[in-house]
Amino acid sequence: MRPVTGAEYVRQITALKSDRLARSAFQELVLRIAPPGAALFEFGAGTGMDARFYAERGFTVAAYDVDPLMCEFFSAHCRELIDAGRITLENGGYREFLARSRAGDGRAVDLVTSNFAPLNLVGDLRELFAKFHALTGPAGRVLASVLSPYFMGDLKYGWWWQNLPRLWHTGHFSVAGDQAPIVRRRLTDFARQCAPYFALRRAFPGVPSGARGADVRHAWLRLSTCRYMFLLFDKQGASPARH
């Protein structure tokens, strides 16, 4: 099965009310977390729907996506904001992205965002968080939407039960996906993978609620009703903010 990209992806990702609500919830949380006028970096930016939303609200956005068709749609969708310097877009292979020294105009990033689970397509998160560490300023943060391994809606699938022992013992498991293996991780695994560059501070259910995030030690039950969970990471050494 070929990957869904570009305009076809937009049609699919906006067709379901649950996906629209999940996107709205993530955007709402970004507005709560990011300081006014912040520099954002969007990893796995897709078609630019989120980047445009952020730029129209006063943020500067540097974005990256590996898929050329996604980037082609992104460039058309955000053309006037790119021309105005509010958005910059990077393309290219993932290893090439990791090797680059800076993003956008070189300004230190205040908040890295990653919506609709790009981190679930990355097998080794340590080197990605090392990259985020290099991109961000001293108080830099990462907010990522990821697929929840605790989602009760997945209990009807055989692959979830087959992988449950692996999830329990190793903290993660993977299943085949269109683009790459899809890795589902427990909160404890995310906490291990982001170290020593970041610390996992809060976990939010992926629905619009305005609720405060839960301490990661007690969050899994609250996350069981949502397909997505939103994870907030603080740069190591930075004073944690409250949300």
Question: pLDDT digits over 40-66, tens only?
Answer: 999 999 999 999 999 999 999 999 999
- Digitized pLDDT (tens) for each residue of the chain, 243 residues in all: 456 565 666 666 666 787 888 999 999 999 999 999 999 999 999 999 999 999 999 999 999 999 999 999 999 999 999 999 999 999 999 999 999 877 666 789 999 999 999 999 999 999 999 999 999 999 999 999 999 999 999 999 999 999 999 999 999 999 998 878 999 999 999 999 999 999 999 999 887 654 455 555 556 667 788 899 999 999 987 555 555
Backbone angles phi, psi at 182, to 5 degrees: -100, 120
Q: For residue 242, tell me if it sits in a domain.
A: no
Q: For residue 53, tell me if it sits in a domain.
A: yes
Q: Which domain holds residue 160?
A: 6-235
Model pLDDT, residue 1: 46
Q: For residue 98, tell me if it sits in a domain.
A: yes
Q: For residue 243, tell me if it sits in a domain.
A: no
Q: What is the DSSP string of 15-84?
A: TSHHHHHHHHHHHHHHHHHSPTT-EEEEET-TTSHHHHHHHTTT-EEEEE-S-HHHHHHHHHHTHHHHHT
Neighbours of 79 (CB within 10 A): 12
Q: For residue 43, tell me if it sits in a domain.
A: yes
Model pLDDT, residue 237: 72
Q: For residue 219, tell me if it sits in a domain.
A: yes
The CA–CA distances, whole Å, from 238 to 41, 147, 197 equal 18, 27, 11
Model pLDDT, residue 207: 76
Any idea what the CATH number is for the domain that residue 192 is in? 3.40.50.150
Domain count, the chain: 1
Q: For residue 241, tell me if it sits in a domain.
A: no
d(CA 96, CA 106): 17
Q: For residue 240, tell me if it sits in a domain.
A: no
